[in-house]
Amino acid sequence: MKTFCGRANPTTGALDWVEESEEYDYHQEIARSCFADMLHDHDRNEKYFKGIRAAVSRIKDRGERVVVLDIGTGTGLLSMMAVTAGADFCYAVEVFKPMAEAAQSIVKKNNFSDKIKIINKHSSDVTVGPDGDMQEQANLLITELFDTELIGEGALPSYEHAHQHLVKAGCEAVPHRATIYAQLVESELLWRWAQLQPVEVEGARLVPPPAVGRCPGAHSVCDIQLSQVSPTNFTPLSPLCTMFSVDFSKPVSSAFQSHSTSFVAQSGGRAQVVLSWWDLDMDPSGTIVCSMAPSWMYPQPTMAPWRDHWMQSVYFLPVETQVAEQEELSLTVCHDDYSLWYSLQSHSLQDVRAKTLQSRPSCTCQAHLVWNRPRFGELNDRQRTVSYIAALRSVLAEDRVCLSVSDGSLLPVFAHMLGAKKVFSLENSRMSKQVIEEVLEANSVKGGVALLEIRPEQLTSQDLGGDQISVLLGEPYFSTSLLPWHSLFFWYCRTALAGLLRPDASILPCSASLHVVAVEFQDLWRIRAACGTCEGFDVSPMDEMVQRSLDFRESREAEPHPLWEYPCRALTQSAAVMTFDFTQCVPEQPSSSRGSLPFIRIGRCHGVALWMEYHLTDDVTVSGGLTQPISEQGTCEWSRHRKQGVYFLRSAWDSSGDGGAAVSYSFTFEPSLGDIKMDFSITDQ
């Protein structure tokens, strides 16, 4: 069945009525789910299997039948492990219907249908009794309901309910226990994601609004591949602290709790950030441990298992505080049913507890709602600011009237500080208008920029006080962009504003280009690779389901990933495949580009990386992708501020690197859709 959905097109900015099959979102969810990543996570699977075998044996040794409750069975994997280990019966509960169906066919294919009952319900709706979903309460509770923050997917309420209704007292649980670890650090790099730092503009200093400095920041957890943040990027102020453990074999509470750990500061510095991860003890004695520690915690970093479905968390303290070496401090973690937050107390203060917050702090200044964390990082990137200021200086003169089009941008403030006659800025929301207003106020230049909450196509000469625009500015940055080329929205804005531009108006950036390089991923390939068998179980129905969802669209699509977190090696040179001339309006006709990139390095090509570069002027460029030339070995350095596009090949290609084969590409920019269609194939040269 087809339905019409109103969707704001991220490139054209228009509200398009797109004909979508009802199944579109569902297929997207499956195609982009992390099931493949979980099934490829051998470390996790192996430890679950060991833990399950040990728990089944303990119950059998007591002479009891083993009745399992597997909450969130997904593919049915953990239930199949339990039956293989000797469990008598499994109730496998899965709330997501397509997954429950996949579990059904996987369980059947592996001949476990008589011992595993799939229940397509949320566990809190499961009933027990002669007519219930479960005939009896279970004595082995198996779950994998964790996210990077451990409890963010609702593990605590699910456990709480299961212990009250679905399992027997004294049951065994796999995992048996989870423990959360935290380390307090000073990190210039990470703190740049939370707080706006002063910016030097031609000898003047642009300071952040005081409200931003006082704000505890964004509500959401910051989950990242911490292994990709080098230990040179932070200074530990505390040892690694064990914050708290949850025993899953006993009744669990999802009510508010706080846990404090005291320590002596091992170094003086600015207490800014808490790095955190957890581990799972699969058995009561803690001999089977599945750890989320980042690779730099391992004596041999290459031994660290890679996974994307569980990463590490970064928590930003509500305020930065100076601590002295040897100072006695307490780190407190609080949690409610779904989230965690941290605070730091000094023992020299009277009431240590007084400063712990009963509810999760959230943004009070709005800046953390307008700017997400990578965006804070981008605004705080001094080198980038220098490029924009150099470019601005080259197009600005005293008589210039500037109009800026970018969400929550500091460019119009820079233009004012650099002496433009008049500066206007189109803000996409009341909130971003307010935040930029506060920046102006904090720097005593209120009124220096006229902030207009008007869409480009609705802007009139009257809104500009009768002036014509001599400089149109953009970073460009739009909060609605998901893929790199969505920032072409700037081009559509420029086209809508054509009638308000002076004939000799400067456009900054004057053009943009789309770049590609074929790559071998160190690990990211796992998230889209078929599994076949997992720990000896045939999970191919899951692969087929993902494949059907990927093929649901006629052409496969690129997906956004922050590649600085996912190392890859270039197997070809990079190339600019399309250029977009912002000095002209968006053309009416589609444009295409075809070509090929010969393989020049040996490796396994999993796909191509795509990004945009913005040519601010003829000689100043900022890149949303590669920030350094590709090294001789193919090492790539990626911008941390923007996500790049990744197009996964249907099947990986082994390159011999002799130039005998190439990645052939074809791109078509469809101006009416604001979309770039792409296709790749491997060809012999």
Which residue ranges make up the site for ligand SAH (CB under 6 A)? Answer: 38, 71-75, 77-78, 93-96, 99, 122-123, 144-145, 154, 158
Extract the tokens encoding 26.
Answer: 């569902």
* Contact present, 336 and 257 (Cβ < 8 Å): no
Closest CA to 548 of 25, 19, 30: 30
Eight-state DSSP code of residue 306: P
CA pair distance 82, 76, nearest whole angstrom = 10
CA pair distance 583, 510, nearest whole angstrom = 6
**SS3 state at 632:** coil
CA pair distance 551, 677, nearest whole angstrom = 15
Phi, psi of 79 (to 5 degrees): -70, -40
* Contact present, 441 and 464 (Cβ < 8 Å): no
CA pair distance 217, 239, nearest whole angstrom = 25
Give the type of residue at 677: K
Least distance from C-beta 46 to ligand SAH, angstroms? 12
Least distance from C-beta 88 to ligand SAH, angstroms? 19
Q: Residue number with the shortest CB distance to ligand SAH?
A: 72
Least distance from C-beta 167 to ligand SAH, angstroms? 13
Least distance from C-beta 44 to ligand SAH, angstroms? 8
Q: What does 470-524 look like in DSSP terms, one character per residue?
A: EEEE-----TT--SGGGGGHHHHHHHHTGGGEEEEEEEES-EEEEEEEEEEESSG
Least distance from C-beta 253 to ligand SAH, angstroms? 16
Least distance from C-beta 271 to ligand SAH, angstroms? 35
Least distance from C-beta 295 to ligand SAH, angstroms? 23
First-residue to last-residue Cα distance in the chain:
44
**Cβ distance to ligand SAH smaller for residue 96 or 263:** 96
Eight-state DSSP code of residue 72: S
Extract the tokens encoding 396.
Answer: 């600005």
Cα four-point dihedral sign 154, 156, 160, 166:
positive
Give the type of residue at 656: S
CA pair distance 605, 521, nearest whole angstrom = 8
Q: How does strand 116-119 pair with strand 89-93?
A: parallel
Does residue 144 carry a catalytic annotation? Answer: yes
* Contact present, 530 and 544 (Cβ < 8 Å): no
Least distance from C-beta 143 to ligand SAH, angstroms? 7
* Contact present, 604 and 648 (Cβ < 8 Å): no
Least distance from C-beta 268 to ligand SAH, angstroms? 43
Residues making up the chain, counted from first to last? 685
Closest CA to 295 of 520, 571, 523, 604: 523
Least distance from C-beta 104 to ligand SAH, angstroms? 13
Q: Which of 144, 149, 172, 378 is catalytic?
A: 144
SS3 content of the chain, % helix, strand, coil (to 5): 25, 35, 40
Least distance from C-beta 309 to ligand SAH, angstroms? 8
CA pair distance 178, 564, nearest whole angstrom = 29
**Cβ distance to ligand SAH smaller for residue 83 or 505:** 83
**Cβ distance to ligand SAH smaller for residue 280 or 558:** 280
**Cβ distance to ligand SAH smaller for residue 77 or 401:** 77
**Cβ distance to ligand SAH smaller for residue 33 or 225:** 33
**Cβ distance to ligand SAH smaller for residue 344 or 542:** 542
CA pair distance 64, 88, nearest whole angstrom = 10
**Cβ distance to ligand SAH smaller for residue 24 or 96:** 96
**Cβ distance to ligand SAH smaller for residue 38 or 290:** 38
**Cβ distance to ligand SAH smaller for residue 80 or 622:** 80
Least distance from C-beta 539 to ligand SAH, angstroms? 9
Extract the tokens encoding 321.
Answer: 């505080």
Extract the tokens encoding 568.
Answer: 């890859």
CA dihedral 282, 283, 286, 288 (to 10 degrees): -50
Extract the tokens encoding 47.
Answer: 């430890």
**Cβ distance to ligand SAH smaller for residue 173 or 570:** 173
Does residue 20 carry a catalytic annotation? Answer: no
Provide the 10 A C-beta neighbour count for residue 674: 21
Please report, for residues 277, 288, 511, 523, the alpha-carbon distance to residue 595 in angstroms, rounded to integers and kept in the order given: 45, 52, 21, 28
**SS3 state at 66:** coil
Provide the 10 A C-beta neighbour count for residue 670: 14
* Contact present, 254 and 160 (Cβ < 8 Å): yes
Q: Which residues, 6+ apart, have CB-to-CB distance to 78 below 8 Å?
A: 48, 52, 70, 142, 144, 174
**Cβ distance to ligand SAH smaller for residue 67 or 519:** 67
Q: Which of 46, 101, 136, 153 is catalytic?
A: 153
* Contact present, 106 and 539 (Cβ < 8 Å): yes
Please report, for residues 84, 153, 189, 236, 377, the alpha-carbon distance to residue 186 in angstroms, rounded to integers and kept in the order given: 48, 29, 9, 7, 16
**Cβ distance to ligand SAH smaller for residue 457 or 544:** 544
Kindly list the catalytic residues: 144, 153
